[in-house]
Amino acid sequence: MSAAKPQPRRVHSGNRRDDAARLAVLHAADDLLVEHGFGALTVEAIARRAGVAKQTIYRWWPSKVEILLDTLIEDSEKRLPVPAGSPTADSIRGYVRGFARFVTRDPAGKVLLALLAEAQHDPGTAKSLHERFLGPRRVRERELLATGTEAGEIAPKLGPDATIDALLGPVVYCALTGASVPRGLVDTLCEDLLRPRAD
C-alpha cells in the first residue's frame, strides 16, 4: 500500500458485466440496510458505498428492491433451505424453528422483513416478492407437508396453505413487532397443527 495511490480504483472488465461491481452493490445494499435501516437505503447511497456509478445500478436492477431480492434469495437458500427429501416431524419442526431464528436474528432475515414491509407500500414490490421469493418457497413448503403427510409423519388438520400460514405467521408477526418468539410457541403450534387430535 503506497500513500501515493489513495484510490487504487477497481479496474473493470471491459466488454462483459463486471462481477466485482455486482457483488459490491449487493453487499453495500445489505450493509446499509443492516446498519442504517431501509430509510437510508437509497440508490445514491448504495452507489456511493459500493464505489459504483448510479448508472451501473440502473443498468442491471430495475429498482433497489430487486437488489434486496437478489441478496435475500441467495442468503435464504444458503441459510434457510426448505428441507428436501423425505421429512420427519422433527425436520419440519426444525424448519419452523430455523425460520424463527432467520427472521428474528439473522441479518438476512431483516431483508425479508424490509421487503415484506415495502410490499405494503408498493405493488411492484409485492409482485416481485411473491414471484421471486414467497411463491417458489411456498411451493416447496407445500411439497414438504405433502411428502410428510404421505409418509405418515404428520397429519395436518388444516389445508396446506392454512397450515403454513398458521405456523409461520406468528413468527413473522413477532419479528415485525420487534418481539422475540415466545418459548414454546413454535413447538406447541407444530404439535397442534401437524398431529391429528387422536395422536
Partner DNA sequence: TCATAATCGAGACGGTACGTCGGGTCTTCGG
Partner DNA sequence: CCGAAGACCCGACGTACCGTCTCGATTATGA
Q: Residues in the site for DNA, rule: CB under 7 A?
A: 7, 9-18, 21-22, 24, 40, 42-45, 51-56, 58-60, 63-64
117 contributes a contact to its own copies by CB under 8 A = yes
- Is residue 71 within 8 A of residue 107, CB to CB? The reply is no
Q: How many residues contact its own copies, by CB under 8 A?
A: 43
Provide, rounded to whole angstroms, the least separation between the CB of residue 27 and its own copies. 20
- Work out what residue 179 binds among DNA, its own copies, none; the CB cut-off runs from 5 to 8 Å by kind: its own copies
28 contributes a contact to its own copies by CB under 8 A = no
Choice from 67, 69, 100, 119 touching its own copies (CB under 8 A): 119
| Closer Cβ to DNA, 2 or 7, answer by number | 7
Provide, rounded to whole angstroms, the least separation between the CB of residue 47 and DNA. 7
Q: DSSP letter for 83, please.
A: P
- Is residue 91 within 8 A of residue 83, CB to CB? The reply is yes
- Work out what residue 60 binds among DNA, its own copies, none; the CB cut-off runs from 5 to 8 Å by kind: DNA
Q: Determine the 3-state secondary structure of 161 from DSSP.
A: helix
- Is residue 109 within 8 A of residue 71, CB to CB? The reply is no
Q: Determine the 3-state secondary structure of 17 from DSSP.
A: coil
Rounded to whole angstroms, the Cα distance separating 76 from 73 reads 5
Nine cell digits for residue 102: 432467520
Q: Please list the alpha-helical segments (H only) found in 37-153.
A: 43-50, 54-60, 64-79, 89-105, 107-121, 123-129, 135-150
| Closer Cβ to its own copies, 77 or 187, answer by number | 187
In the complex, the residues that contact its own copies under the rule CB under 8 A are 37-39, 113-114, 116-123, 126, 130, 134, 157-159, 161-162, 165-166, 168-174, 176-179, 181-185, 188-189, 192-193
